[in-house]
Amino acid sequence: PVRGDAADADACGAEEAVPEELAAARAEAAVMEEAFPDDGQPAPERVRRYVPRTWHRGDEREAPPLDTDVMEMRGALDDLDARLRAIQSRQDELMPKASAEAAGSREMPRAIAEMRAQNDALR
């Protein structure tokens, strides 16, 4: 390909700029070689050590032990639940079904059921 005068001028300018850049790169490489001399040996390979895992992803973990306060609260809730059942069974024995319905005791089983639901929600 034939180049014109403008193309030749650009090429000459590029040739002059390259040696300056090349000289700067060579000077920087010399400084690097001086700071980090190369003894001709290849760099040693890094050995990756196998570290066994102390936990497994798929395994179920044990639940942490419960606090003494939590255990006391559960015991208290169980006692309340037992008392509620005892009260309900005594009332069932004392009141016949027909008279209980006539007396409007429909609210009592509902109240007991609500208390049990609250008890379960607190656990």
Per-residue pLDDT of 58-99, as tens digits, reads: 566 677 778 889 899 999 999 999 999 999 888 888 876 655
pTM of the model: 0.31
Predicted local distance difference test score (pLDDT) of residue 52 = 72
DSSP collapsed to 3 states, the chain: CCCCHHHHHHHHHHHHHHHHHHHHHHHHHHHHHHHCCCCCCCCCCCCCCCCCCCCCCCCCCCCCCCCHHHHHHHHHHHHHHHHHHHHHHHHHHHCCHHHHHHCCCCHHHHHHHHHHHHHHHHC
Mean pLDDT for the chain?
75
The span from the first CA to the last CA of the chain, in angstroms, equals 90
Higher pLDDT, 39 or 57: 39
Predicted local distance difference test score (pLDDT) of residue 122 = 81
Phi/psi class of residue 51: alpha, beta or left (left: φ > 0; alpha: ψ in -120 to 50)? beta
